[in-house]
Amino acid sequence: MNRRQKIIFALIFFVYLAARFTLNLPALSKPRELADTVSYLRISNVPLTDEKFWGDGRPFVFPLLLKLAGQNVELASALQLGFSTLAWALLALTVSASLRTVWLRLLSIGILLALSLVPHLASWDFVILTESLSVSWFVLFLALGIWLSMEWRTDKVLTLCVVALFFAFTRDTNAYILLMLAGLLVLAVIFRWMQPRVLILAGFFLFTFFISNLTSDIGARWVFPLNNVIGRRVLSNTEALDYFRSCGMPVTPELMALEGEFANGNDRAFYTEPALNEYRSWLNEHGKTCYMKWLLSDPVHSVGEALGQFQGLITFTELDKFYSRRYDPIIPNFAEPFLYPLKFILPIWVALSVAALTAIWKRAWTVNRLWGIFILLCLPILPHLFIVWHGDAMAPERHALSVGLQLALSLWLFIFLALEQGVEYFQRR
C-alpha cells in the first residue's frame, strides 16, 4: 500500500470511526441488559485468583471485560464498540493488502467497514452479552490469519494463538471452529497444500478446544443447553425419546411433564424437582454421550434438520427485540441485505461451497493466498451450523450469529477474489 492509498484509508477510517461513536452515543449511554447479563456480572465479581472465575457456568472472557469495566455496563459497551471498530479496521486493511488491483483494494475497505455496521452485527455492541465480543474476536482472528498468510513469523503465530484462545473462551461453540480449522490444516499438510509448520497452529487449536471442553465440564456449562434440547426436542419426539430411553434415561411422568419446557421453565424443575434426582444423575454421567450418539445415528436427518433451519437462523427476524432502546442503525434495514445475506441463504452457501472446492482443485492459493483463507473460512460453515442448531434449543438465532458472519465474510472474500481474477484475465487479453 503506497502513501496515497494509506492516506485514503486513513480518511475512510476516520469517517468510519466518527460515525460509529458519534451516531451511537444514545445507545452507549443506555446499553441493553438481559436475563443472562446477571450471570456474567456475578462471575465478574469473583476474584481472578478464584478458580470459579475461570471454570464457572460461563466462559471467562466476557466476565473479564466486565471486571475491567468495573461492572459499569456503559463503559463495557464502549469497550465493546472500540474493540469492534479496531477489529474490523484491521480486517479491512489486511484484505485490502492481499489484493493487487487498486480500485478493488479501496472497494474492499469500504465494503467490509460497511458490513460491520449492519444491524445484525453492530447492534450487539450495545447489548451486555457475549455476541459483540464473539464477533470482534472472530473478525480479529481472521485478520491475523490473513496477516500470517502473507509471511510466516513467530510473532505473528504467537499473536494469532493468543487471539484464538480469547476467541474460544468467549463462547463455547467458538472452540469448535478451532477444532474444525485444526482438522482442515492437518488435511492440508497431508495433501502437501501447506507446509508442515502449520501443524503448530493445528496443535494449538486442538489444545485450546480440549481446554475449553474441560472447563465446560468443570463448570457444567453444557447441562443447561442439553436440558433445553431434551425439554424442547427430545420429550416431544417419540423416536428420540425411545433412543434416550435405550441409553438409560429414566423416562418418568415427572420428566414428561416438562415436555416443551426450557431448562429454567416450571420453576427450574429440571434442577430442583426431587423426583428428577435419578434423571439428573443420568444426565451428568451419560447425557452428553447419548445425545451425540443420537445425532450420529442418523446423520442425514440431523444434518438435514440443521440445513432446514439455515434461512430462519440467519435472517433472525426478531433481532430488534435485543436492541438497546436507543439504538438507531447506521445502515438502514432496507440496505442491509446488499451487504449481509438475508435471502437465498442455502443457494449462496451451496455456491460458495462449490467455489471453495473448485479453488482446492485449482490450487488457487498459489495465485493469491487469500483463496486459502476463503477455503478455511467457507468449508466449516455447515458443521458450524450443525453445532449451533443442535447445541441449544433456546435462542438458536442468536447463537447462529457467528454462522451468519462466516457466510457473509466468505461471500465477500469470494467476490473480491473473483473480481480480481476477472480483471487480470481481461488485462492479459
**109-143 residue pLDDT tens:** 999 999 999 999 999 999 999 999 999 999 999 99
**3-class secondary-structure state, position 333:** coil
CA–CA gap between residue 44 and residue 303 (Å, rounded): 37
Give the mean model confidence (pLDDT) for residues 369-397.
96
Angle between helical axes of 288-297 and 238-246 (0-180°, round to 10) = 130
Q: What are phi and psi of 127, to 5 degrees?
A: -125, 130
User: Interior CA angle at 369 toward 368 and 370, to 5°?
Assistant: 90
> pLDDT (tens digit, 9 = 90+) per residue, 315-325?
998 888 999 99
CA–CA gap between residue 164 and residue 162 (Å, rounded): 5
Cell numbers found for residue 181? 480449522
What pLDDT, on the 0 to 100 scale, is given for residue 1?
65
What pLDDT, on the 0 to 100 scale, is given for residue 31?
96
Q: Which positions ≥6 away from 183 have C-beta within 8 Å?
A: 202
Q: Where are any strands of DSSP class E within 225-373?
A: none
Q: What are phi and psi of 89, to 5 degrees?
A: -65, -40
* Bridge partners of residue 127, in order along the sequence: 32
What pLDDT, on the 0 to 100 scale, is given for residue 78?
96
pTM of the prediction?
Answer: 0.96
> pLDDT (tens digit, 9 = 90+) per residue, 262-312?
999 999 999 999 999 999 999 999 999 999 999 999 999 999 999 999 999
CA–CA gap between residue 137 and residue 123 (Å, rounded): 16
Give the mean model confidence (pLDDT) for residues 345-360.
98
> pLDDT (tens digit, 9 = 90+) per residue, 218-247?
888 999 999 999 999 999 999 999 999 999
DSSP assignment of 112-167 equals HHHHTTSHHHHGGGGBSSSHHHHHHHHHHHHHHHHHHHHS--HHHHHHHHHHHHHH
pLDDT surpasses 80 at 187:
yes
* Bridge partners of residue 81, in order along the sequence: none
Please report, to the nearest 10 degrees, the dihedral formed by the alpha carbons of residues 402, 405, 407, 413 taken in order.
-140
Give the mean model confidence (pLDDT) for residues 136-165.
97
Residue 5 pLDDT grade (very low, low, confident, very high; cuts 50, 70, 90): confident
User: Interior CA angle at 93 toward 105 and 375, to 5°?
Assistant: 80
Please report, to the nearest 10 degrees, the dihedral formed by the alpha carbons of residues 139, 140, 142, 147 taken in order.
150
Residue bearing cell 455496563:
73
H-run or E-run covering 304? helix 299-308
Q: Which positions ≥6 away from 35 have C-beta within 8 Å?
A: none
Query: Which residue in 157, 122, 156 sits closest to 139, CA to CA?
Result: 122
Instruction: Confirm if 132 and 86 have CB atoms less than 8 A apart.
Output: no
Q: Which positions ≥6 away from 111 have C-beta within 8 Å?
A: 339, 412, 416
**Residue 276 vs residues 44, 74, 83, 283: alpha-carbon distances, Å:** 31, 41, 44, 10
User: Interior CA angle at 296 toward 262 and 269, to 5°?
Assistant: 20
pLDDT surpasses 90 at 371:
yes
The one-letter code for the residue type at 311 is Q
Cell numbers found for residue 25? 452515543
Across the chain, mean pLDDT equals 94
Query: Which residue in 388, 398, 397, 403 sits closest to 352, CA to CA?
Result: 403
